[in-house]
Amino acid sequence: MSTFAIARLAMGLFVLLAATSAGARIWHVEVDGSGDYSDIQPAVEAAAPGDTISIGPGRFATFRTIEFPPWSVSTIVGVKKSGLRITGSGCDRTFLGPAGKTDAMSQVFYSDGGHDVAIENMTIENTDLGINWANGHLLIRSCVFIGGDRGASIVVDKVEAIVRDCTFEQPNSTGSIVVYHTKRHPDSCLIDNCTIRGGATGVEVMPWAEDVVIRNTTIEDAQSGIVFQAESKGRVENCAVVNSSFASAWVMSGATVDFANTALTGGTRGLEIDGGIVTARSLVISGTTASALVVNLGGRASIHGSDFLPASGWAFYSEYYDEPVTAIDLTDNFWGTSDAESIRASICDNRCYPPVACKVVFEPFAGGPVPTDVTSWGEVKVMFR
């Protein structure tokens, strides 16, 4: 995401929040009946653009079937208007979703009409989809997402969105944040200062999504921490991905991603590029057991000022790479040794496996760890949590 795109997105959501505080009404939702309403949906339907729905302590778990032609949706809150600010009284006080997991496919927030809304200060739990939003602008701030086995905590589709200061505890979910896109539709998404634990993916960027920035975020114990799919574009900065069972980051099929000041630690593979394009600086890949960097299927990489420090296995590995022969530019990095032959022995390209048509260029290399702003997940947590 360009600086201009981030500024445009932030300004749009700032205008949204300003509109909800200037002379607008606050609707109070209290489970004990002491507010304007005892449930959220009637308050949303009564509110006008610019209003705030203030949700008190307690659990809100009333599902309704709401018509969003051409289909009906089972949801706790369906939103059909813009300019609303929906805020809980704190993640430890306001809970949306059932107390336990259910078999029904359900969600907490749903909108597909291109509406602009802010959702803040609550815990969303035990549904297959937490927030499912199509079109419009969306700010999700200071929320906790727990549970859910079949869906994702947040799904945004053709939305300009900011997800900030949120925590995801999703050990069995499909994914915590999924960014969809329809080709040629402008969109952008900023994921900032979040903590994600568990799930099949931490953040999954679907085909053609553009201007997706993940920054100041830690992802632990996911199968794949960050996934950019076909022809998507984005940036990962000041992040840490720890102990992914497959790959800490996976860039595929023409996706283009820039990494900066990021640590990929532990797990089987650090960064896998299958037909994608990656540039990186100040990237630390360490503790992997199979390979720190994998490049297949015509993928390209230009990585400098970084450290490749696998615990075992390869520093670089390729097994499916057809002609023409392509140079992978990995100069000016540290490989855990100052001996060129040792570095070469840790690289499996066309010199060790002739069927592959990529060749790693690693000289000149750094004789010691490269100075970086971020060199470990612990330092990321100290800096950004």
70 prior amide bond cis, ω within 30 = yes
Nearest Cα neighbor of 78 from 54, 51, 47 is 47
**What digits encode the pLDDT tens for the residues 339-371?**
999 999 999 999 888 889 999 999 999 988 876
Mean pLDDT of 150-159: 86
**pLDDT over 70 percentage in the chain:** 87
42 contacts 64 by C-beta, under 8 angstroms = no
The pLDDT-based confidence of 1 (bands split at 50, 70, 90) is: very low
User: Quick one: pLDDT at residue 170?
Assistant: 79
pLDDT of residue 197 exceeding 50: yes
Region 303-313 average pLDDT: 98
Q: Is the pLDDT of residue 186 over 70?
A: no
Q: What percent of the chain has pLDDT over 90?
A: 74
The CA radius of gyration of the chain, in Å to the nearest whole number, is 22
pLDDT score of 84 more than 60: yes
Q: What are the boundaries of each domain within the chain?
A: 1-215, 248-385
Mean pLDDT, to the nearest integer, of 50-57?
Answer: 98
Give 40's pLDDT tier (boundaries 50, 70, 90): very high
383 pLDDT tier (thresholds 50, 70, 90): very low
The angle subtended at Cα 248 by Cα 184 and Cα 285, nearest 5°, is 120
> So what's the pLDDT on residue 369?
84
- Given a cut of 80, whether residue 379 has pLDDT beyond it is no
Amino acid, res. 106: S
| Model pLDDT, residue 7 | 45
Quick one: CA torsion of 381, 382, 383, 385, rounded to 10 degrees? 60
Q: Is the pLDDT of residue 382 over 50?
A: no
pLDDT in tens, 261-301: 999 999 999 999 999 999 999 999 999 999 999 999 999 99
Predicted local confidence at residue 376, as pLDDT: 43
